């Protein structure tokens, strides 16, 4: 069993979160992993700008009644984008309700991405087309699905890896522990990325965790674990890429705890002022992942105002496309409710479809 990563670390995470860039965007001294290449860094920047604009647009759509609910990931773009860009096309992503930005980064059509949150009766996208599992709302169920798929893929001789996204709250669910256990036993090619954004709705970390870190939760299951700065896009990309590569080469699973922060409320239905100090939000705004990457790119001469303006213009066009798509009134066919449930509809389902058709006549 491989217990040492290419960074030379064993099962235990580092005491301090691993970073490649400081909060001010300066490279750290003696980094644990190499800095991603310039093209990757510029791609990270572009996708983070697009993702943030998409997120703001989706939030606005809830206020206009065009979207039923939206869990924002503003402030978590380093994780949403960095982790997805670290995957290859043949890999699988297992997201949660908070990970719409990860989906659009993966290439899922933005309107298809939002169909579920719009309250449509089907998922919106084809999981097989993008190798993106349905966004899961029941916490931690996706951890089991990811381990199962990863194990099955290796069993079938494929070299694809499953990346599962989960929150700090989801690590308190039994499913996560069952998934970690069998990921360890089977040495499944799966990477668990815990986006520790400090809260499970209104419940802070201190009320649901006694371990030194969430990363420590992999150790007892024999799952190599990393603690990283989740607002450092370079560190997220490099760590996930390293873990994905290790998994692909037979090195087994990795659990990564990324320390980040949810800037917005849990969803548009939540009032975070009731349980969070504004000073805490201000502190995290000063550790913004996009500002950090921009500062670094500018210091390297890789980003100037013209390039940034071009990316911002692209993001505006992207948001306009999302607005237009979500503002289009689609007349769903009620009969579709019964489609895609089973490959062969059951007699009961056929009966219900006929009953509805009769009622609508």
Ligand X SMILES: Cc1ncc(C[n+]2csc(CCOP(=O)(O)OP(=O)(O)O)c2C)c(N)n1
Picking from 227, 207, 203, 230, the residue whose alpha carbon sits closest to that of residue 217 is: 227
In whole angstroms, what is the distance from residue 96 CA to residue 104 CA? Answer: 13
DSSP states along 189-255: SEEEEEEE-SEETTEEGGGT--SS-GGGGGGGGT-EEEEEETT-HHHHHHHHHHHHHHHHTT---EE
Asked if 147 and 187 touch (Cβ cutoff 8 Å), the reply is: no
Specify the residue, 153 or 170, whose C-beta has the smaller distance to ligand X. 170
List the strands of the sheet with 224-229, edge to edge.
92-94, 162-167, 190-196, 254-259, 224-229
Specify the residue, 38 or 280, whose C-beta has the smaller distance to ligand X. 280
Catalytic residue among 266, 287, 292, 296: 266
Specify the residue, 5 or 268, whose C-beta has the smaller distance to ligand X. 268
Among 19, 139, 188, 322, binds ligand X (CB under 6 A): 139
Calculate the alpha carbon distances from 227 to 141, 176, 179, 244, 269 in Å: 23, 17, 19, 16, 31
In whole angstroms, what is the distance from residue 159 CA to residue 151 CA? Answer: 10
In whole angstroms, what is the distance from residue 154 CA to residue 161 CA? Answer: 9
Asked if 204 and 198 touch (Cβ cutoff 8 Å), the reply is: yes
CB of 168 to ligand X, least distance (A): 4
Cβ atoms < 10 Å from Cβ of 203? 14
- Catalytic, 70? Answer no
CB of 92 to ligand X, least distance (A): 20
CB of 209 to ligand X, least distance (A): 11
CB of 71 to ligand X, least distance (A): 6
In whole angstroms, what is the distance from residue 113 CA to residue 90 CA? Answer: 20
Specify the residue, 35 or 240, whose C-beta has the smaller distance to ligand X. 240
In whole angstroms, what is the distance from residue 43 CA to residue 27 CA? Answer: 18
- Catalytic, 275? Answer yes
> Per-residue x/- mask for ligand X, residues 248 to 267, rule CB under 6 A?
--------------x---x-
Q: Within 92-111, which residues bind ligand X (CB under 6 A)?
A: 98
CB of 141 to ligand X, least distance (A): 7
The residue whose Cβ lies closest to ligand X is: 167
In whole angstroms, what is the distance from residue 258 CA to residue 176 CA? Answer: 16
Site stretch for ligand X (CB under 6 A), options 50-58, 134-142, 177-185, 252-260: 134-142
Query: What's the distance, Cα to Cα, between the start and end of the chain in Å?
Result: 64
Specify the residue, 125 or 199, whose C-beta has the smaller distance to ligand X. 199
In whole angstroms, what is the distance from residue 5 CA to residue 250 CA? Answer: 12
Catalytic residue among 177, 275, 298, 323: 275
> Per-residue x/- mask for ligand X, residues 158 to 197, rule CB under 6 A?
---------xxxx--------------------------x
Specify the residue, 224 or 262, whose C-beta has the smaller distance to ligand X. 262
Specify the residue, 201 or 285, whose C-beta has the smaller distance to ligand X. 201
- Is position 230 an interface residue for ligand X (rule: CB under 6 A)? no
In whole angstroms, what is the distance from residue 120 CA to residue 220 CA? Answer: 41
- Is position 201 an interface residue for ligand X (rule: CB under 6 A)? yes
> Per-residue x/- mask for ligand X, residues 276 to 315, rule CB under 6 A?
----------------------------------------
Catalytic residue among 45, 131, 241, 262: 262
CB of 264 to ligand X, least distance (A): 11
CB of 295 to ligand X, least distance (A): 27
Which stretches of the chain bind ligand X, using CB under 6 A? Answer: 98, 137-139, 167-170, 197, 199-201, 262, 266
Which positions are annotated as active-site residues?
A: 262, 266, 275
């Amino acid at each position: 069993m491989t217990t040492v990563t290419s960074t030379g670390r064993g099962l235990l995470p580092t005491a301090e979160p691993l970073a490649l860039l400081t909060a001010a965007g300066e490279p750290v001294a003696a980094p644990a992993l190499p800095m991603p290449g310039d093209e990757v860094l510029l791609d990270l920047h572009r996708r983070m700008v697009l993702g943030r604009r998409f997120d703001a647009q989706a939030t606005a759509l809830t206020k206009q009644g065009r979207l039923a609910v939206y869990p924002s990931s503003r402030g978590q773009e380093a994780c949403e984008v960095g982790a997805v860009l670290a995957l290859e096309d043949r890999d699988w992503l297992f997201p949660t309700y908070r990970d719409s930005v990860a989906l659009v980064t993966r290439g899922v059509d933005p309107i298809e991405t939002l169909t579920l949150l719009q309250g449509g009766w089907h998922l919106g996208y084809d999981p097989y087309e993008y190798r993106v599992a349905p966004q899961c709302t029941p916490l931690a169920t996706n951890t089991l699905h990811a381990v199962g798929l990863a194990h099955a893929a290796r069993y079938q001789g494929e070299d694809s890896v499953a990346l599962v996204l989960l929150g700090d709250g989801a690590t308190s669910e039994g499913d996560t522990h069952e998934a970690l256990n069998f990921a360890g036993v089977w040495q499944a090619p799966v990477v668990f990325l815990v986006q520790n954004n400090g809260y499970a709705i209104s419940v802070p970390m201190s009320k649901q965790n006694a371990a030194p870190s969430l990363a420590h939760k992999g150790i007892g299951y024999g799952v190599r674990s990393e603690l990283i700065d989740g607002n450092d896009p370079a560190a997220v990309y490099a760590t996930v890429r390293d873990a994905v590569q290790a998994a692909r080469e037979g090195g087994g699973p990795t659990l990564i705890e990324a320390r980040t922060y949810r800037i917005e409320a849990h969803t548009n239905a939540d009032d975070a002022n009731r349980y969070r100090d504004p000073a805490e939000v201000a502190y995290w705004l000063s550790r913004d992942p996009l500002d950090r990457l921009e500062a670094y790119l500018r210091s390297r001469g890789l980003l100037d105002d013209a390039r940034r303006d071009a990316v911002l213009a692209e993001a505006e066009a992207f948001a306009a496309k999302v607005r237009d798509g979500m503002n289009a009134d689609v007349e769903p066919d009620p009969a579709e409710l019964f489609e895609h449930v089973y490959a062969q509809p059951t007699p009961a389902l056929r009966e219900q479809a006929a009953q509805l058709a009769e009622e609508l006549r």
